[in-house]
Structure 1
Amino acid sequence: MSVANQRPEAPTAIRTDLGAFFASLELSHSKWLITSLQPGSEVMSKHVVAAGNVAGLLDRFAELRRKAEARTGRCYPIIVIQGAGLDGFWIHRVLQAEGIESHVVDAASIATSRRRRRAKTDGIDGEALVRALLAYKRGEPRVCAMVRAPTPEEEDRRRISRERKTLTNERISHVNRVKGLLFAQGVSGYEPLRRDRRKRLEELMTGDGRPLPAHLKAQIGRELDRLELLLEQIKAVEAERDAMLAAEQLTSPAPTMLLNLKGIGPEFAVVLWSEGLSRHFDNRRQVAAYAGLAPTPWQSGSVDYDQGVSKAGNPRLRTTLIQTAWLWLRHQPRSALTLWFKDRVKQNSGRLKKTTIIALARKLLVALWKYVNAGVVIEGAVMKTA
């Protein structure tokens, strides 16, 4: 028999009859698009419900299940997928409470066409989500990256550090605005964060020897009002953070273990614990990938080089780790990680410090993960004195 006769006359169809309904949700502020695929069918149907209409969404799923049961005599489970976005995880939790298998996917992990002008609609995206869910349930590797939804308690625990970061950025904006207004009048050296800021404002003179104009002084006064409110809110958030750390120490030793390391304070300990180290990881590669510190290779034929870190993970955790790595060099000069950094920089003749600090941040994250989960002490690390 020839090789040509051994080939099938038609391509093998993709198996879609997995004994379940597959549905995707495209969520927006005004409507929710439901794209569903019935068992044994290859045609997807689409239905729209108003945004926030959970009862309508569940009724739609119940109607699809009733029609399939009347047609086949079997009751099929429903498996739903949605992209991680502004709606958070509350819809995912509602579906799970109703006994519906729900998945949240990182939309950026789904392969798309690389055409310069590719078509993009909610309908196309909904079908792509259903196909990704089908492949995922068939067990195809790396077809997409499902997000592990945090519990309400884990999600709420992150808010303290994130709110403090927002307030700190607003504080910087007000300080810079005050300094910019004064610099335009020839005034420099004024520090709005000093306690005597009001008194010094009254004493300021412009660069050409005039008192500050009345409207300018009034505007700066209002900026200082907002700045002082922010300072009070930052103090309140920090007090709440410290209280949360004290409460966490009663249920988990990890925050205390982080605080015991020299160079890690309350804010960094909260961010490292709530944003990353409190989660479950199977290996160090998953830890580095979650922080976006995993290397990204580029290989094609004879071309083979490293593009740097992926930056595809948690940006807050990644930023904090890089800052922690710089502080680690200062406060842990005799640790094995610091000695590795200095040796690598010496090999590069003092160059590529910023690149090497990223590698140190990745090593430090893995070391901290082993430290808080398995109790593996970081080699040469110094603990804080009592």
Structure 2
Amino acid sequence: MKNYAAIIGIDISKLKLDITGVNSSNETVLNHHIIDNSKTKIKSFFKKIISKFGGNNIVVAFENTGVYGYYLASHLHDLGIDYYNLSALEIHRSAGIKRGKSDKSDASIIAQYILTNKFKLKLSTFTEEHILELKVLHTQREKIIKALRTFGNNKETLLFLPKEAGEELNKTNKSIIKCLKKNLKRIDTQILEIIKSNTALIKQYDLIQSVPGIGPQTATYLLIVTKGFTAFKNARKLACYAGVAPFPYQSGSSIKGRTKVNHLADKKLKSLLNMCALNAKIHDYQLKKYFDDKVDNGKNKMLVLNNIRNKILHRVFAVIKRQQPYVNTHNFAA
């Protein structure tokens, strides 16, 4: 990290931003400020900051709070100011023992985190508008799916209700389910329209689905979490994010735990990859043979299935890198 004149930490909430800043010597160069989380206030504030420090001498850090940080990230991107969009859990765990909590102290902790970890952190890139739209629509889709499960699981309840009450409840649920399915179909159409409207996205979308086992929903979610394959350098890093990369658990001569995955993961992506792996080991000859051979040799089925998840991610990165669809070499074997 270069020697910035101001390392600015920002705690983001729905309505306001708490801001503070230090220099590379950990001296306060920007006292605590509170501004509204709006385009006009953010623009006005950073106009003053740039006039004081210069745009190239500033780095800004804030927690990933979803859509609440969009105005800030968008304006920093437009101004060409370096910034870090950080995991809240990462910052929380780095803070050590602390008593109490306030937005002011959180802003300071974020700035201190950048100062302490400046050599290992990578600057963030702006989430393009079409990726953000996909993310918002996907979130809505997940809510509808959850609601469908809720209103669809009422058979047991109906058994314990009087006939008339049960019929009325069943009629209401069917009406709600019909409406939810209609909106689910509309969201799926909107998602596909956004992907088709972007040349790079539709190319990646088709390439991902050329990998055996992967369908439209997994392809869409991979586009979202990788920001169009700009957020992760390789398949291993994405596997870590998805919680399917194994890590050793050993220390000295007394602790010799088995190699296993970590519970810190994107559970949605992990679930999708699990379905892809189950599908691939049935329809892909190479993966089916790999699974059967490993299990026959005494390997745990879940361990082998996790290996297939990893193989699928590596195949995805391979087709994206080559910009060529996946080719199943078994089909050309003599």
Q: Please state how far the C-alpha of 1:295 moved relative to its aligned partner.
A: 2.3
Partner of 1:184: 160
**2:316 equivalent to 1:364:** no
Letter in 2 for 1:315: K
Letter in 1 for 2:76: L
User: Given the alignment, which residue of 11, 18, 37 partners 2:3?
Assistant: 18
Percent of residue pairs identical? 18
Partner of 2:297: 347
1:324-372: per-residue Cα shift (whole Å, max 9, x none)? 001111211x12x3322222222226xx322331221112111222123
**2:146 equivalent to 1:169:** yes
Query: CA 1:32–1:312 in 2, change beyond 3 Å: closer, same or farther?
Result: same
User: Given the alignment, which residue of 279, 288, 292 partners 1:338?
Assistant: 288
Trace 1:277-356 onto structure 2 (pairs within 5 A). Answer: 278-280=228-230, 281-302=232-253, 303-306=255-258, 308-332=260-284, 334-335=285-286, 337-348=287-298, 352-356=300-304
| Long gaps (5+) in structure 2 | none
Query: CA 1:57–1:241 in 2, change beyond 3 Å: closer, same or farther?
Result: closer
Letter in 2 for 1:284: A
**2:11 equivalent to 1:34:** no
Contact 1:106 1:146 in 2 (8 A): no
1:43-94: per-residue Cα shift (whole Å, max 9, x none)? 365423243245444545555666x67xxxx997322111101414331111
Contact 1:242 1:266 in 2 (8 A): no
Letter in 1 for 2:308: L
User: Given the alignment, which residue of 81, 87, 96 partners 2:61?
Assistant: 81
Q: Using CA pairs below 8 Å that are at least 6 residues apart, which structure has the higher relative contact order?
A: 2
Letter in 1 for 2:221: V
Partner of 1:49: 34
Structure-2 separation of matches of 1:265 and 1:65: 46
Structure-1 separation of matches of 2:309 and 2:248: 19
Q: Please state how far the C-alpha of 1:272 moved relative to its aligned partner.
A: 3.5
Secondary structure, aligned partner of 1:293: coil
Higher mean C-alpha deviation, range 362-371 or range 230-239? 230-239
Structure-2 separation of matches of 1:294 and 1:146: 24
TM superposition score normalised by structure 1: 0.71
| Long gaps (5+) in structure 1 | 1-15, 186-205, 207-211
Structure-2 separation of matches of 1:88 and 1:239: 27
Q: Please state how far the C-alpha of 1:377 moved relative to its aligned partner.
A: 3.8
Structure-2 separation of matches of 1:376 and 1:108: 37
Query: CA 1:88–1:382 in 2, change beyond 3 Å: closer, same or farther?
Result: farther
Q: Give the paired residue count.
A: 327
1:193-245: per-residue Cα shift (whole Å, max 9, x none)? xxxxxxxxxxxxx7xxxxx12x4432332222111101211222333445455
- Aligned-residue Cα RMSD (Å) equals 3.5
Contact 1:371 1:378 in 2 (8 A): no
Q: Please state how far the C-alpha of 1:170 moved relative to its aligned partner.
A: 1.0
- Name the structure with the higher helix share: 2
Structure-1 separation of matches of 2:10 and 2:43: 12
Trace 1:66-105 onto structure 2 (pairs within 5 A). Answer: 77-86=57-66, 87-105=68-86
Contact 2:196 2:202 in 1 (8 A): no
Structure-1 separation of matches of 2:201 and 2:55: 43
Contact 2:207 2:320 in 1 (8 A): yes
Query: CA 1:346–1:153 in 2, change beyond 3 Å: closer, same or farther?
Result: same
Secondary structure, aligned partner of 1:305: strand
Query: CA 1:249–1:327 in 2, change beyond 3 Å: closer, same or farther?
Result: farther
Secondary structure, aligned partner of 1:253: helix
Letter in 2 for 1:179: K
Q: Please state how far the C-alpha of 1:128 moved relative to its aligned partner.
A: 2.2
Q: Moved runs in structure 1, 4+ residues, more than 6 A?
A: none
Letter in 1 for 2:37: G
